[in-house]
Amino acid sequence: MPAIVRWYLRTALVMFVLALTVGVVQNLNGTLPFISAALTPVYFHLLMVGWVTQFIMGVAIWMLPKYSMQKPRANESLSWAAFILLNGGLLLRAVSEPLNYGSPGMIWGWLLVFSAFLQWMAGLFFVINSWRRVKAR
């Protein structure tokens, strides 16, 4: 299994555990009122983007038909960029969303916009690189 695939899959596993931890914490906001209600979308996106989507991406990079013998995974730099952008954007969201909920209209709002851009770029890079490998034999 290539290094890039291992990074995607292992990070997805870490996000899975992190998501469920956040899920438990956000369930406690009835008894612990200082826990932000904004953790609910954070929990859901850590699960669906960090775990499910990232795991699918990793398996796709591994399994899709080879682009060529010289470049089996097409442009691997794009996949690395997507990995960094996806996880960077997701973690930035996880931090800035609860803070923006508590103090709207400050720097946290712009960090949310930035995190949206990072994750969007990750999706774009992944789609561009995978598209070329999805071909009939």
Partner 1 sequence: MPRLSVWTVRFSLIYLFLGFTFGALMLAQKGVPFAPWVWSLFPAHIDILLFGFVIQFAMGIAFWILPRYSGGSRGNETSFYITIGLLNLGIWIAALVGSFNLAGDWLAVGNTFKGIAALFFAVHAWGRIRHRQLTKPGER
Nearer to partner 1, 87 or 100 (CB): 100
* HEC-encoded secondary structure of the chain: CCHHHHHHHHHHHHHHHHHHHHHHHHHHHHCCCCCCCCHHHHHHHHHHHHHHHHHHHHHHHHHCCCCCCCCCCCCHHHHHHHHHHHHHHHHHHHHHHHHHHHCCCCHHHHHHHHHHHHHHHHHHHHHHHHHCCCCCC
Nearer to partner 1, 4 or 112 (CB): 112
The nearest distance, CB 128 to partner 1, in angstroms, is: 9
Nearer to partner 1, 31 or 39 (CB): 39
Sites of contact with partner 1 (CB under 8 A): 48, 52-53, 56, 60, 63-65, 93, 96-97, 100, 108-113, 115-117, 119-120, 122-124, 126-127, 130-131, 134-137
Nearer to partner 1, 28 or 102 (CB): 102
The nearest distance, CB 31 to partner 1, in angstroms, is: 26
